[in-house]
A and B are shown apart, each in its own frame.
Chain A
């Protein structure tokens, strides 16, 4: 059985890809194994050092979903303002969009360009 997917100008063989993945994983493991062996789990060593302050509770310091990509969303604020205006949640708007798109499609097909 042939496992190579031929595309119009290339090919993709997942099994070959996995073979390379395994080779690179082994190389990665060798590098990891040569690292500093001084790390000890479950000791004082793994606790964060916050300039002598007590560590806040996990709930307090967790990065929440709403905060991730804050910068990206802030940079695209104008774009998102438009999108939010479009998403009204109002059923009448849903139907208006349908009518609008229908009109454009009919224009293209019947009398348009």
Chain B
């Protein structure tokens, strides 16, 4: 098990390269992808256990340990390293779980498409990209995996290339990813030029307040903010999430939040020296968060394409995460405020990441199920489907209640923490957060009323429930929404607070868990 971090990348990478061998044997390709992603889930849980037991896990490619001294006596980290703390492993579990759910759902959802061996290869490659981003301790490595995730993601967005809109969305996603990656690379170049190193922990001890460092921070902050869909750089999100096959929505969501993770990692670990002394970085994050949640939800309210509507909600929910963590970042330099509500604010933001990944994946899958049965995404053309699709209806109700923050579902617990703590920083922030929740509920009432309620329509006389693999995938996520909502403190204590502490206690990260 000492090679567990490397296996996390090697297993899905092996899957991605072997799946194309199953050309024309689509069912086998689907099953192979389900097996590989299932094994990845197990590996991520084992890794989580190791991190919980031993603290930060270091893995050095090509050497036995991180602080190996060169024969010349020069003691700097020169190899590629994975540095896995609780935050990284938290994201890794999200990535592997959602890739597995996505593969399971896709088994029936895309069976009529052609080129499925490429589809599943890309799905696993996307998983590799996300896992690399959240596990690595090396800046250039982060860029490489960001590129892998971006390229695999854009190919999947444009997978249904017989639709002009899908090709357009795929190209847009590719260009946005490329611009962001280019600027990330430029920032890495700035830091490498100054400090001659790419290891994040090492760099974080060298970085100071000089202008070049500030420019690098600004470029990394903006680039990752665009990649995670923060307003006003969110325009690519509805295009991409709407056109991508519903089975890819869960891993694509995690790919988006891998960029959010990178934003947090940059703010808390890499530039800790700066952000601990500059409350304005936290304020910038909180204000972007409020704008993101409000503009996202108001745009969702006017949509009548069910997937586009849900995509705008994905933007809106990202705002909550930015707000929660932004509040924590703002009071980072104030030990009293940090202990009083800053840590809980960050816990709310980080908890909202996993909650949102679960319920938004569920909702996008129900939208995919509606499209599968009706052949349309236009809510104006739907109605009375609750009787025909009872399982999808139940899954939708659970997801809609969770995203609207209704108790006792998972969305409530994280929003509860965010409302309360953002109020402590500035009551206006909490007001916007609550109004956004009300508008979210209003929006999902609209979807429920127009797609599921009403008299049965003649044109859907022969409609029936979606195939079993799709139902199973949706019900697993619905069950998680309920479980995470009923036992929030279990998830918070085991997963979320360790992840938050990993961000706050950056000294641990800087010394590779005490190795250096």
Contacts and interface: CB of A to CB of B under 8 A. Distances in A.
Contacts of B38: none
A14 B298 contact: no
A87 B239 CA distance: 11
Chain B interface: which size bin? 35 or more
B144 interface: no
Given A8-B424, A93-B235, A95-B179, A64 B380 contact: yes
A101 B379 CA distance: 34
Interface in B478-501: 485-490, 492
Contacts of B457: 58-59, 62
Contact of A83 (B298, B341, B412, B454): B298
Given A89-B235, A94-B233, A106-B214, A69 B442 contact: yes
Given A101-B225, A105-B222, A79 B298 contact: yes
B284 interface: yes
Contact of A86 (B172, B232, B384, B454): B232
B462 interface: no
A8 B233 contact: no
B216 to A, nearest CB: 10
B485 A14 contact: yes
A51 to B, nearest CB: 20
B218 A105 contact: yes
A105 to B, nearest CB: 5
A89 to B, nearest CB: 7
B469 interface: no
Interface in B300-315: 301-302, 304
Contacts of B236: 94
A2 B494 CA distance: 13
A17 B408 CA distance: 8
A84 B102 CA distance: 33
A68 to B, nearest CB: 5
B439 to A, nearest CB: 9
A10 B416 CA distance: 10
Given A58-B455, A94-B235, A97-B233, A65 B304 contact: yes
Contacts of A33: none
Interface in A34-71: 58-59, 62-66, 68-69
A9 B278 CA distance: 27
A102 B492 CA distance: 34
Given A105-B284, A110-B218, A98 B408 contact: no
Contact of B489 (A3, A63, A76, A101): A3
Given A94-B233, A101-B225, A105-B218, A66 B413 contact: no
B295 interface: yes
A7 B408 CA distance: 16
Contact of A64 (B299, B341, B450, B492): B450
B127 interface: no
B175 interface: yes
B235 A108 contact: no
A54 B412 CA distance: 46
Per DSSP, are chain B's interface residues mostly helix, strand or loop, or mixed?
helix
A87 B300 CA distance: 13
B417 interface: yes
A76 B295 CA distance: 13
Interface string B299-337: 101101000000000000000000000000000000000
A109 interface: yes
B424 A17 contact: no
A101 B222 contact: yes
A110 B211 contact: yes
Contacts of B446: 65, 68-69
Nearest to B219: A102
Interface string B258-279: 0000000000000000000010
Contacts of B175: 91, 94-95
Nearest to B213: A109
Given A66-B304, A87-B299, A1 B222 contact: no
A9 B420 contact: yes
Nearest to A76: B298
Contacts of A12: 407, 412-413, 416, 488
A13 to B, nearest CB: 9
A26 to B, nearest CB: 18
A98 B179 contact: yes
A69 B301 contact: yes
A10 B420 contact: yes
A23 interface: no
Contacts of B417: 7
A7 B416 contact: yes
Nearest to B488: A5
A68 B304 CA distance: 10
A91 B174 CA distance: 11
A102 B232 CA distance: 11
A80 B417 CA distance: 31
Nearest to A83: B299
A33 to B, nearest CB: 25
The 10 closest A-B pairs by CB, nearest first: A65-B379, A65-B450, A14-B408, A58-B455, A106-B218, A102-B222, A109-B214, A64-B380, A8-B341, A5-B489
15 contacts: A3-B487, A3-B489, A6-B489, A14-B487, A17-B408, A58-B384, A59-B459, A64-B304, A65-B450, A66-B380, A80-B302, A98-B179, A101-B232, A101-B233, A113-B280
Given A62-B455, A65-B446, 12 more contacts: A7-B420, A12-B413, A14-B486, A59-B457, A65-B380, A65-B382, A91-B175, A94-B176, A94-B235, A98-B180, A109-B214, A110-B214
